[in-house]
Structure 1
């Protein structure tokens, strides 16, 4: 499936029905999700692998990985309502790989993959758009997600607020990993919370590919 075709499939993914500001529930645009999944697949990090979408929201990354032929996909999300939408989205896009939806806190992910064998993929890839920590009381939220990722992933792709390079590289270095790729991303967000003043604004972000020991 081409990147354009993947984007077209993801374009039908429904967003949050009642987003929560404290959880920073902003949807990942289908074009950006398709771009990241496409890059991950080109790097050999999707097809035949276990892919985990941490803080899956309504399932954008999990669905993209399932459409691109991951061996198995796990979408972990705290919000039950969002998870219900994600399950409906799975039926809507007709993903080729079944997705295991888990209702849990991504910072305390109840995941145990065991030792790889002939029947189990030998690599774990995380795709995620964690909360940036922009809300009061939710500072450093993306750090807590990275701490979880470092505990079980072989490689991860994540979105962060613009200006996060020093933080991400320092954290990854301390954890014994390596940032192999980084690029800027800009995407539009429609107004969905009372504290937002503009009907639509451009959000500057950064995406990172990280290899973990």
Structure 2
């Protein structure tokens, strides 16, 4: 596999990863755009968090962060998601992109108990962009990451919760080293959507254990 040397080339690769085949409103499934995924992965690569590392993508959907990590030289990467439809598509896509050392597992992340040596965690959980969404789903992912005994965590959250999250991470012995900011496009895919697209301000927190 030819090594990717430019962020634009990574973005072009990730553009071929399909969206959720049957998005389920209860799971708040929105596909991470390739431009955001490639930017975050490239930053993580630059910070030494991917090449030669063991990576896990919690709530991986169709596998964008697991596959991207593999393309950027991860030792191995694992994607975990409760949605079987998304995992089936992720498995097809990894083969098309020749992403080696990638494995996908169907599981609720809260019940995922495999013993793994994890260096880097990526997660884009339900972060509460819907008015009627269950609050605190993203924090369940943070707690699971802590259980996995990671070195570095990259986690998506609503930007409006930043002040609370800074305290939450601190109280859980996590040191925030970087905060990346994105406009996350929410497309019209559910019946209750009234706009063709709405941009939501999100942050991605990079944290290490104190």
TM-score range, shorter chain: over 0.9
Are 2:133 and 1:130 aligned? no
Shift of 1:172: 1.2
Shift of 1:137: 5.7
Aligned position for 1:119 = none
Aligned position for 1:169 = 166
Are 2:145 and 1:149 aligned? yes
Shift of 1:138: 2.1
Q: Which runs of 5+ in 2 are unaligned?
A: none
Q: Distance in 2 between matches of 1:170 and 1:7?
A: 33
Q: TM-score scaled by structure 2?
A: 0.92
Contact map agreement 1:75 1:100 (CA 8 A) in 2? yes
Shift of 1:200: 1.4
Post-superposition CA distance 1:95-132 (Å, at most 9, x none): 1x321111111123222126xxxxxxxx5100111111
Distance 1:137 1:201, change over 3 A: closer
Q: Distance in 2 between matches of 1:27 and 1:48?
A: 26
State the 4+ residue runs in structure 1 displaced beyond 6 angstroms: none
Q: Distance in 2 between matches of 1:188 and 1:134?
A: 11
Contact map agreement 2:57 2:80 (CA 8 A) in 1? yes
Q: Distance in 2 between matches of 1:200 and 1:23?
A: 19
Are 2:208 and 1:211 aligned? yes
Contact map agreement 2:54 2:120 (CA 8 A) in 1? yes
Shift of 1:164: 2.0
1:62 aligned to 60, 66, 70, which one?
A: 66
SS of the residue corresponding to residue 156 of structure 1 reads: strand
Are 2:114 and 1:86 aligned? no
Aligned position for 1:118 = none
Q: Distance in 2 between matches of 1:42 and 1:187?
A: 22
Are 2:51 and 1:47 aligned? yes
Aligned position for 2:24 = 20
Shift of 1:4: 0.7
